[in-house]
Amino acid sequence: MTKILAISDAHGEENENLYTYLNNNDIDLVLILGDITNFGPLDFVGTFINKIADCGVDVIAIPGNCDPTGICNAINDVAFCLHNNIVAYGDAILFGFGGSNPTPFDTPGEMDDDKIYREVYDLLANYDYVYNSEVPAVRILVTHAPPFNTDADRVENGEHVGSSGILKSIHEFEPEISLCGHIHEAKSLSKIGTTTDVANPGMLKDNGAVLIDIKDGSNYDISIIALDE
């Protein structure tokens, strides 16, 4: 069994409800889906991640578009940065890619959607080459940007602003779960086709989180929870 809690978009603000939840529940791993800071300072990264780890959990994180240069080093100083990496954790295989497709705000971690597609494709393909169907695992794509045209990428006016590159990769490799953040008002749990659950926990200060409970191998439950309940 593996229990994973995913949070996103702290933007330099702690939430005491997170620590209370972790101390009162049996969680193995906390995934941070980017925008740990609000354009810095990097000192917050260590403070925040260490307080999470002090609750008796492992921590893995990716950068967001609002995190400054040096964010991956800051994460690796205290935890593990999953950006452009694959890691096995319990009954899960995690594929990570941070940053976002272009926004109107010219933030530090933006990149062309074609680049996102190439990088995410390569991550998923590398695992696909060595996949062993006799050893089931839940494949979890961990990105800051949401896949395009989903509940997870809809801004307040209803427009979809997510990454078409991430969506294309999901269609091609069909991971079981896509975790994302970035769009604060798009807290949601939805599906791409019949194969991929897409979850956006929203901003940390709004008490949203995603709970993944992997029972054995490929059997799992996924839900949006409230950290203050």
pLDDT score recorded for residue 27: 98
Residues 226 and 229: their CA atoms lie apart, in Å, by: 6
User: Which amino acid is residue 33, in one-letter code?
Assistant: L
Please give the structure tokens belonging to residue 134. Answer: 């006799």
In this prediction, residue 132 carries a pLDDT of 72
Residue 166 DSSP class: H
Three-class DSSP category at 151: helix
- Cα distance between residue 32 and residue 29, in whole Å: 10
Q: Is the pLDDT of residue 131 over 80?
A: no
Q: What is the pLDDT of residue 34?
A: 98
Q: Mean pLDDT, the chain, as a whole number?
A: 96
Q: Across residues 149-157, what is the average pLDDT? A: 97
Confidence of residue 216 (pLDDT cuts 50, 70, 90): confident
- Residue-by-residue DSSP string for 44-106: HHHHHHHHHHTTT-EEEE---TTSPTTHHHHHHHHSEE-BTEEEEETTEEEEEE-SBS--TT-
pLDDT of residue 65: 98
Average pLDDT for 213-220: 89
Q: What is the average per-residue pLDDT within 207-228?
A: 95
Does residue 229 surpass a pLDDT of 90? no
The arithmetic mean of pLDDT across residues 75-103, rounded, is 97
178: its two tokens: 């896509």
With tokens 């917050």, the residue in question is 44
- Give the three-state DSSP class for 160: strand
Q: Are 51 and 18 in contact (CB under 8 A)?
A: no
32-46, 97-111, 119-133: lowest mean pLDDT where?
119-133
Going by C-alpha positions, the residue among 109, 140, 136, 86 that lies closest to residue 36 is 109
**What backbone phi and psi angles, to 5 degrees, belong to 154?**
-90, 120
Number of C-beta neighbours around residue 151 at 10 A: 17
Q: Taking the complete model, does pTM exceed 0.85, yes or no?
A: yes
Check residues 217 and 76 and name the one with the higher pLDDT: 76
What is residue 194's predicted lDDT score, i.e. its pLDDT? Answer: 94
